[in-house]
Structure 1
């Protein structure tokens, strides 16, 4: 994986408890990567017409800005307790949350967001949009953050899988955890990696062929990351549900932003979208192409 020299881990906050969990994960990631942490709050003004709880009235621009600075101060103090050696900076920006954070991602090593929150900043739709358009990997904090269990990566046999796999290997190495490389197949799959396989019957039928696809994808992985134990899994079934099952014991699931095959027209692949909303642990979506924001 390549990244911008000196790039920070960036996390979006909105003052909700969900975004504070995102701050905790972002601070831990910054410490692992020896990167600074930048905490960003997006001030949406004029306010979007969203329903407010009974008794809650509209606030003035000055009050909203003061409140936003309060969110940033609280988040910075929390991050400092989680990772005392990580340099922390804060940033208040007015604009549309997804667009602001996508722009921040151009100068980031990793972008961290919660899967929902209050005030319109970290709703699932924003997380989905960022996973589709961010210029760096996006970590969506969903489910239960853990410090035990493997890093699990979905390997579909496409050219994109190389970058996804490298990111997952790096995460496993940083965390000191094993890696589970899962290749799911349905019987209708065809990928770049199986086009050049030998035309032997045992390599061209069912499970044997798919094991060869995964072996090709993992070629050289042990040499690049000799400290990471790799468990290979080839299972017949949908990748989303199978990775979702692993998310109940994994500390992180890593996937690409799109499925291979005929789904390139989607804003986000069905597997990654499924995990953003249903995974039982945090998910990282690694983009394959330059952002089109």
Structure 2
């Protein structure tokens, strides 16, 4: 996917955040971008005398993780090692601090839930609330059966655990969806994995017109990515439900942060579909914000 800046990972000491950091490291190989590991201490959880101790404990967590990631990077068989890994401990609100630092980031990566929630499918409060406020793209990483640390030959873009089902993207007529489709195609091509493009025609009105437009969009993606292995599906029903169902066999589900109802939904940071997918998907979810991209003009044409 397109990275306009460094990749930030929120680290809280949990296995989920460590696996998210390993995923991010694989995504960064060969890009020249740095990996920034950030640990946030929340003021409400500490006494004044505890701050120095907790800050030191946070540094220990980050140093240990950085060492593990450095070992993982060094043994990668393609030799594309040497990713710069930076660490930072901050006192403040986790959501606010990470959102502020994500303004100039290429990607913000979070574990699905934090250290206080073990083996739960429920998404954590920060991982649910932050994607709508961050200006960057946000990847909420879900750990399934495997570990990112197990197989250093794993491709940079795809999680090692899970169903190995490739990349799924939801597509409608909005420019948010167009940008999401470009990033999903980029992920798929980089990994050598197929891309499934899902179009909820029931929500788009005229079915024949919606299918024709979707086929044009698929041709547009193939023109932008000649090596793309992609197909398109038109499942019936609610768009959120079809993406959640697809997540059962996918590695990454990609959605725009908002869809066709962008102006009606300006009071909320995420659209209804992206919010539902983030909450209930069984795969990692990449939420893509709008950005200007010259390739969108070809889609409109």
TM-score category, normalised to shorter length:
0.7 to 0.9
1:9 is aligned to 7
Counterpart pick for 2:97 among 92, 97, 100: 100
User: In structure 2, what is the Cα distance between the partners aligned to 1:267 and 1:182?
Assistant: 23
User: In structure 2, what is the Cα distance between the partners aligned to 1:34 and 1:289?
Assistant: 21
User: In structure 1, what is the Cα distance between the partners aligned to 2:143 and 2:20?
Assistant: 11
Counterparts in 2 of 1:239 and 1:143: CA distance versus 1, 3 Å: farther
Counterpart pick for 1:76 among 66, 69, 85: 66
Counterpart pick for 2:19 among 21, 33, 49: 21
- Report which stretch shifted further, 170-179 or 27-36: 27-36
Aligned 1:267-286 pairs, distance under 5 A: 267-286=269-288
Encode CA deviations 1:95-122: one digit per residue, 9 max, x unaligned.
11111111221221111001211369x9
Aligned 1:127-166 pairs, distance under 5 A: 127-144=127-144, 145-146=159-160, 148-166=164-182
Counterpart pick for 1:45 among 43, 46, 51: 43
TM score, norm. by length of structure 2: 0.79
User: In structure 2, what is the Cα distance between the partners aligned to 1:17 and 1:258?
Assistant: 30
- Report which stretch shifted further, 82-91 or 13-22: 82-91
1:224 is aligned to 224
User: In structure 2, what is the Cα distance between the partners aligned to 1:146 and 1:246?
Assistant: 18
Kindly state the Cα deviation for residue 288 of structure 1 after the two structures are TM-superposed: 2.1
Structure 2: 5+ residue runs without aligned partners? 75-80, 145-158, 293-301
User: In structure 1, what is the Cα distance between the partners aligned to 2:234 and 2:95?
Assistant: 36
2:296 is aligned to none
Kindly state the Cα deviation for residue 282 of structure 1 after the two structures are TM-superposed: 0.5
Secondary structure in 1 matching 2:130: helix
User: In structure 1, what is the Cα distance between the partners aligned to 2:99 and 2:54?
Assistant: 23
Secondary structure in 1 matching 2:175: coil
Counterparts in 2 of 1:48 and 1:170: CA distance versus 1, 3 Å: farther
TM score, norm. by length of structure 1: 0.81
2:77 is aligned to none
User: In structure 1, what is the Cα distance between the partners aligned to 2:291 and 2:268?
Assistant: 14
2:53 is aligned to 63
2:87 is aligned to 90
Kindly state the Cα deviation for residue 123 of structure 1 after the two structures are TM-superposed: 6.4
User: In structure 2, what is the Cα distance between the partners aligned to 1:95 and 1:151?
Assistant: 35
2:236 is aligned to 236
Counterparts in 2 of 1:241 and 1:286: CA distance versus 1, 3 Å: same
1:189 is aligned to 204
Counterparts in 2 of 1:98 and 1:123: CA distance versus 1, 3 Å: farther
2:298 is aligned to none
- Report which stretch shifted further, 25-34 or 231-240: 25-34
Name the larger-Rg structure: 1
Q: Over aligned residue pairs, what C-alpha RMSD do you find?
A: 2.6
Kindly state the Cα deviation for residue 222 of structure 1 after the two structures are TM-superposed: 1.1
Residue 109 (str. 1) matches residue 106 (str. 2)? yes
User: In structure 2, what is the Cα distance between the partners aligned to 1:146 and 1:238?
Assistant: 29
1:255 is aligned to 255
Structure 1: 5+ residue runs without aligned partners? 50-57, 191-204
